[in-house]
Chain A
């Protein structure tokens, strides 16, 4: 694990000591090399885990998420190069440092053995993200957004700290690999119910669950492009990953405690998909679509069946890449028109045909087109929920339909039709933007050839 942690830490001196015109080249190069090294973690030996030391381990669930995290850093750097070009050198280096710190904390979070260390790093990821949103966001609402983001997550996760300390006292150690063998079935009592709630609320807020999702549209919309990318692609998955880990300690309470959250998620995914159909702000649409996809993941994790876990893991990776790509596409629009309103920049297919191809592919993966892993994830979750309760198929079917509807709505309103007169003079697509989209999409398509890598530890 040190083979990616130490290089990531050393990216910080690299940024501060590079020549001014080399900072982007150096950081992009080395972050791509770090992501190459992280691919070795996909060589999981059995359905046990790779244990690197007492503090770090990876298993088939955390390895794909680690690869996603390390892959995202170079993409974030490429996406931010343009809007930071007018900042002073120190500010650029600070921004890159924030991104690198975030990556570092995320790597350690996904590979932490000790649950307290997981918790500390889970909270630590909030700090660089908050700095990125509030300092480099574009509108005045970013302050409110940062507040919502910070306090929702903190309030949700403070009970988790209490619950983990209690578990440490009663079990003796919170080393995750041992805890999964030591757990006793929890008897049904009020204090255990509160402990279940304490453990899960942090991750419910992070996912986010439908009733606690208010921070997400604000944070995603107000963040600069790198902030949006990392929020949508990785930080939401922290919630899913945490839930999958912590539910091993909470049986059999989950059988009945999960019902309210299942109801909220099942209803919420339809609600948020429908809200997407009525959005005028492009980034807001993508943010709500994230809530909808993550609601599927919550449902899958709370059912706790083998197929649903496979679907949840596949969906997390697929959604990470797709959502990040959609935010990059929205940013390419924003950099040209300085507005996020969708209808303001319509008919782009005539003006930027290659970018229209990326829009099409991103929209298609968003609506879970076969044979992408988006479909594999969604299908597994739908099948698992059907076997859990037959009537959920109606809700799932409606959700899939509405997902297709809003993805196509986004495509048609930005790409098709006659372009408006005021965007005739936008600049052609840069190589940087096309490379960014390709680097998002190619891993997604390659994974459809070999999905067993992302199907998690139940596969």
Chain B
């Protein structure tokens, strides 16, 4: 009798919960009295059955969403600390060390084509251009002619004596 009353109370509670829109857990009691049958309330929130069809746009259950546990994820690892350090390592060594220092190194490489080689082999072309500009600037500043028609200084050439 007490069990029956309790059952009634629970059903009423369930009904109240359902009408209030509160989530109502379906509780099935095992009653001590074998005569009491406590059935789930017909009113308690009828839920639509879970969809059995998987749509393609639903996230694949095997795919882990790195942003779920760690909204600041950088995409490297689940563990936020490892993820953060991985990001730092990539940016430091990848960008700051290799790209910056590396491109500085390459920019300052010497004029590597044939240092001191002949003009036909395009030897030291950039150096030659800079040297020419420097000499022109010097000669113009000092009023000297830019170029002389003599390649070598004529006073320094020693000609052989005429021999018969």
| Contacting residue for B59 out of A36, A425, A430, A443, CB 8 A | A425
Residues of A within 8 A of B94 (CB): 32, 74, 435, 439
B23 within 8 A of partner (CB): no
Contacting pair B65 A25 (CB below 8 A): no
Within 8 A of A (CB), among B43-67: 55-57, 59-60, 62, 64-67
Contacting pair A446 B114 (CB below 8 A): no
| Stretch from B6-14, B104-112, B135-143 contacting the other chain | B104-112
A144 within 8 A of partner (CB): no
**Most chain A beta-carbon contacts within 10 A, residue among B65, B73, B75, B91:** B75
Residues of A within 8 A of B29 (CB): none
Contacting pair A36 B98 (CB below 8 A): yes
Contacting pair A29 B77 (CB below 8 A): no
Interface string of B105-147 (1 = CB under 8 A from A): 1110110111101000100000000000000000000000000
| Stretch from A79-87, A242-250, A280-288, A395-403 contacting the other chain | A79-87
Residues of A within 8 A of B89 (CB): 25, 28-29
Complex CA–CA separation, A443 to B90 (angstroms): 15
Complex CA–CA separation, A39 to B104 (angstroms): 11
Complex CA–CA separation, A40 to B105 (angstroms): 8
Complex CA–CA separation, A20 to B128 (angstroms): 57
Contacting pair A45 B77 (CB below 8 A): no
Total of A-B residue pairs, C-beta within 8 Å: 111
B101 within 8 A of partner (CB): yes
Report the count of interface residues on B (CB-CB < 8 A). Answer: 44
A123 within 8 A of partner (CB): no
A39-B106, A42-B106, A46-B117 as given contacts; A21 in contact with B98, CB under 8 Å: no
CB distance from A31 to the nearest CB of B (A): 9
Contacting pair B57 A22 (CB below 8 A): no
Complex CA–CA separation, A438 to B100 (angstroms): 13
| Contacting residue for B82 out of A21, A32, A42, A446, CB 8 A | A21
A423 within 8 A of partner (CB): yes
Residues of B within 8 A of A24 (CB): 76-77, 86
Contacting pair B87 A432 (CB below 8 A): yes
A424 within 8 A of partner (CB): yes
Interface string of B63-102 (1 = CB under 8 A from A): 0111100000111111100100111011101110111011
Interface string of A23-53 (1 = CB under 8 A from B): 0110011001101100110111111000000
Residues of A within 8 A of B19 (CB): none
Complex CA–CA separation, A353 to B121 (angstroms): 49
Contacting pair A47 B113 (CB below 8 A): yes
B31 within 8 A of partner (CB): no
A39-B102, A435-B90 as given contacts; A21 in contact with B75, CB under 8 Å: no
Q: Which residue of A lies closest to B82 (CB)?
A: A21
Contacting pair B102 A36 (CB below 8 A): yes
A450 within 8 A of partner (CB): yes
Residues of B within 8 A of A28 (CB): 86, 89-90, 93
Q: Which residue of B lies closest to A32 (CB)?
A: B93
Contacting pair A435 B91 (CB below 8 A): yes
Contacting pair A86 B64 (CB below 8 A): yes
| Contacting residue for B60 out of A74, A78, A338, CB 8 A | A338
Contacting pair A423 B57 (CB below 8 A): yes
Contacting pair A430 B86 (CB below 8 A): no
| Contacting residue for B79 out of A21, A71, A430, CB 8 A | A21
A361 within 8 A of partner (CB): no
For chain A, the bracket of interface size reads 35 or more
Contacting pair B112 A432 (CB below 8 A): no
Interface string of A206-246 (1 = CB under 8 A from B): 00000000000000000000000000000000000000000
A24-B86, A435-B91 as given contacts; A422 in contact with B57, CB under 8 Å: yes
A431 within 8 A of partner (CB): yes
Contacting pair B75 A433 (CB below 8 A): yes
A124 within 8 A of partner (CB): no
A417 within 8 A of partner (CB): no
Residues of A within 8 A of B60 (CB): 338
Complex CA–CA separation, A432 to B91 (angstroms): 10
Residues of A within 8 A of B56 (CB): 422
**Most chain B beta-carbon contacts within 10 A, residue among A40, A42, A430:** A430
Residues of B within 8 A of A86 (CB): 62, 64
Contacting pair B57 A82 (CB below 8 A): no
Contacting pair B90 A432 (CB below 8 A): yes
Q: Which residue of A lies closest to B121 (CB)?
A: A47
Q: Which residue of B lies closest to A457 (CB)?
A: B113
Complex CA–CA separation, A32 to B57 (angstroms): 38
Q: Which residue of B lies closest to A442 (CB)?
A: B99
Q: Which residue of B lies closest to A34 (CB)?
A: B98
| Contacting residue for B75 out of A32, A42, A431, A459, CB 8 A | A431
Q: Which residue of A lies closest to B60 (CB)?
A: A338
Complex CA–CA separation, A423 to B59 (angstroms): 10
Residues of B within 8 A of A438 (CB): 95
Contacting pair A25 B85 (CB below 8 A): yes
Q: Which residue of A lies closest to B114 (CB)?
A: A46
**Most chain B beta-carbon contacts within 10 A, residue among A24, A71, A74, A432:** A432
Beyond A25-B82, A430-B74, A459-B113: 4 further Cβ-contacts under 8 Å? A22-B82, A35-B98, A432-B76, A439-B95
For this complex, 18 residue pairs linking A to B, each with C-beta atoms less than 8 Å apart, are A24-B86, A25-B89, A29-B89, A29-B93, A32-B90, A36-B98, A39-B102, A45-B115, A46-B115, A82-B75, A422-B56, A427-B67, A430-B66, A430-B74, A431-B74, A432-B74, A432-B76, A446-B99
